[in-house]
Amino acid sequence: MPKGPTLPGTGLSDLGDIFKRLRVFGSLACGQSFRWPVSSTLLAKRSKYLYHVMFDIDGTLVQSYGFDADCFTKAIKEVLDIKIDDNWSSYEHVTDNGILNEVIQTNGLDSKKVEIQREVKSSFIRRLREHLKIEPAHEVPGAASFLARLQALNNVSISIATGGWYESAVLKLQSAGISIHNIPVASSDDHYSRTKIMKIAEERANNNTGISNTYFGDEVWDKKACQELGYNFVLVGNSVPHDQSIVNFNSTNKAMTYIGL
């Protein structure tokens, strides 16, 4: 449609823009979900992806496992006056919301669920901020440069899928000096199930299906989730017996080989 003078009161010179926006507001008014349009350039790039690489955060990208767990258990103790079992493998869903939901249900507190979730999350984030001010987080060696290397490849998409809440994820990554610019992130704010979180991250990163999915994680629940989803699992560290593992991301060539690159 041809461009014309700016239309009064709209700031728009293209009637096509107005029709597009009317369709958006019309769909919202009808209760339909809306996704902001993606540029044709980005769609073209995404359609060429052959490999998708996904990362956990705690113990995988950031050396945060110890203090993160400590802040979480103390937040629950503060709000509920309950000392929870910190053997995370004993919980059905090893995510912040999954563990908290189980604690709430086990203690018959379902009627206060929303309020408890809000208060525990607030306490946890506050404690995390305080800790990071005193003692900044450190990346797992080579993590930031490995992410940057993958981002530079035209046939690879990447994402982050964490069992933690989004705000805490950003705090830890920023503290460790890891940029997540243009990297889709799915978290416990999106779902309580780790496999659901991983699928959401995959969907946010890719526009096509049938590509290779590789997940870098550090715990048994990461390995289990990958088995359920049919993802290629690469262990970071040595906490779980596994045939594909790296000590850290300084083992770049080894990591790339496990992805298939």
Mean pLDDT by 10 residues, the chain (261 residues): 41 43 38 39 57 97 95 98 95 97 97 98 98 98 98 95 98 97 97 98 83 95 98 97 97 97 92
The pLDDT of residue 49 is 78
The pLDDT of residue 256 is 98
Quote the strand ranges of the chain, DSSP E.
51-55, 156-161, 185-186, 212-217, 232-236, 245-246
The pLDDT of residue 210 is 72
Q: How far is CA 8 from CA 3, 5, 18, 22, in A?
A: 14, 9, 12, 16
Burial class of residue 34 (count of CB atoms within 10 Å of its CB; 0-12, 13-18, 19+) = exposed
> ∠ CA 180-186-191 to the nearest 5 degrees?
160
Nearest to 121 by CA among 161, 165, 81: 165
The pLDDT of residue 207 is 63
User: What's the pTM value of the predicted model, to 2 decimals?
Assistant: 0.81
* Torsion 89-226-250-95 (CA) sign: negative
CB 100 within 8 A of CB 120: yes
The pLDDT of residue 211 is 86
